[in-house]
Structure 1
């Protein structure tokens, strides 16, 4: 099941870490059960199935298809640039119901990829089920950050953004994944993106918990970083954010995100650097 699979470390930080992502050319003889089996066989949290003829990319975890995946997009576009053997490519990607712009550039430390995340919806209403979700995460009231609050953000799939007061709180979290999965499914959330803003401007540390889609803790979640950029832009006027992730997995990750106000709403772009593993480095 791993024949033809390339492992791409997406969103590396200072030349190492990143989220291992399986990338391969799609085969229309595969059904979705087989695609999910590829993820399990590759030993990664996600896989990107690329169809170059139509610029389409499909994303799977071991138990679900995703309408989009930020770090999977970074991995897929790095894979395509590497396959072409070129230094730069400006393209378009079709995933789910969207077609969006992508840019991939070969750098000394890897392949830098940016993509247009589009409009991020930020409902003004209080998040549904918040109390039960915070309890499942193990976050008590005093652990929440002052001057911020949990919100729902959606670039197409809703997720909960949860600010905490310190890095110590962030790193100490040990969620009840069964309860968290149940609550997220009940309220239609992809998962929970828990973050701590750094005293340094425009930097945050974060962890993503998404047991409802079969990923208890995502090493990196680039789309949620874009959602955070949109939220900070809406509430504090910030235009850029660098989000550090992967601490708990021992795989440092860095995601860049920018947010701007448009006539349609807050639009974001998300970027990261990827490394293509050589066959000797693949699992």
Structure 2
């Protein structure tokens, strides 16, 4: 077995920024090996890519503890790896088969944009005392100053709770009980928690993402979660424009600054596009 393996920082244009992902390009691997490898390298997600033909790719995503349906930053990393390995060409559109469905990916001047799965909103979470205890903040810090936003589950491929926080200072002060978050997520059938604030000098918002249920305490950049946040903000009348790129920041509290671009498309049946840059940190062979 001689496989091409990459470590790529996604949603950034500098090394050691963004969110690192492992990427393996393979022809014949089983999922038991994939899970063991993801657990060994311990990135928040590792992507395993199999070429179907020149336009179609099968991609599987694994955290250190489980397979997940979709991953935004690992998708961006995957197509950066495919471009580097000359399995795809720049300025073109491709399809990737995932457990969340078959989705389109556009590569344009090395900037990668991915279609998200069908956007959905779910349960509203009114248990502010419980949430504030889980994050060690005052209940008055949950919400926002203008739009009356509330904690609610949302998905563009993975279910997260969108957790509005009133100030950037309070967002940075979050001190989660990771065991408690994992238990809460499991009980409520969601993946993680996407805490965000609109109190930012740059872009639409800044966020922090926590997914300890899948072995990820915090991630520096999450494409699917910011895609879900875009749809959540659209449904709450914060964002109203289609075909306009919105900027979201993440990872600054971790020292890994990340920029995630999103866009609403198709007014009659809204979908979300998520895009970003990626930087190759290293590549080599897996034996």
Normalising by structure 1, report the TM-score.
0.87
Secondary structure, aligned partner of 2:120: coil
Match of 1:274 in 2: 278
Secondary structure, aligned partner of 2:162: strand
Q: Does 1:136 align with 2:134?
A: yes
Secondary structure, aligned partner of 1:55: strand
Please state how far the C-alpha of 1:117 moved relative to its aligned partner. 0.7
- Structure 2 unmatched ranges of 5 or more: none
- Structure 1 unmatched ranges of 5 or more: none
Cα separation, 2, equivalents of 1:80 and 1:194: 32
Cα separation, 1, equivalents of 2:44 and 2:100: 23
Of 79, 85, 90, the match for 1:77? 79
Query: Alpha carbons of 1:90 and 1:29: their partners in 2 closer, same or farther (altered >3 Å)?
Result: closer
What is the number of residues matched between the two proteins?
273
Cα separation, 2, equivalents of 1:86 and 1:185: 41
Cα separation, 2, equivalents of 1:39 and 1:2: 17
Q: Is the 1:233–1:260 contact (alpha carbons within 8 Å) kept by the matching residues of 2?
A: no
Match of 1:259 in 2: 264
Secondary structure, aligned partner of 2:64: coil
Match of 1:224 in 2: 225
* Superposed CA RMSD: 2.4
Normalising by structure 2, report the TM-score.
0.86
Cα separation, 2, equivalents of 1:118 and 1:256: 16
Query: Equivalences for 1:1-283 in 2 at 5 Å?
Result: 4-12=4-12, 17-32=17-32, 34-53=33-52, 55-84=57-86, 86-106=89-109, 111-123=110-122, 125-127=123-125, 131-144=129-142, 145-146=144-145, 147=147, 148-198=149-199, 200=201, 202-238=203-239, 239=241, 240-260=245-265, 262-264=267-269, 266-279=270-283
Deviations along 1:176-204, whole A, 9 cap, x unmatched?
A: 00011000010011100000114558521
Q: Is the 2:13–2:279 contact (alpha carbons within 8 Å) kept by the matching residues of 1?
A: no
Cα separation, 1, equivalents of 2:22 and 2:234: 33
Please state how far the C-alpha of 1:262 moved relative to its aligned partner. 3.7
Q: Is the 1:129–1:187 contact (alpha carbons within 8 Å) kept by the matching residues of 2?
A: no
Deviations along 1:193-248, whole A, 9 cap, x unmatched?
A: 00011455852110000001110111211111111111111222513431111123
Q: Is the 2:163–2:195 contact (alpha carbons within 8 Å) kept by the matching residues of 1?
A: yes
Cα separation, 2, equivalents of 1:167 and 1:93: 36
Deviations along 1:27-57, whole A, 9 cap, x unmatched?
A: 534332x212222333422100001125110
Cα separation, 2, equivalents of 1:277 and 1:156: 27
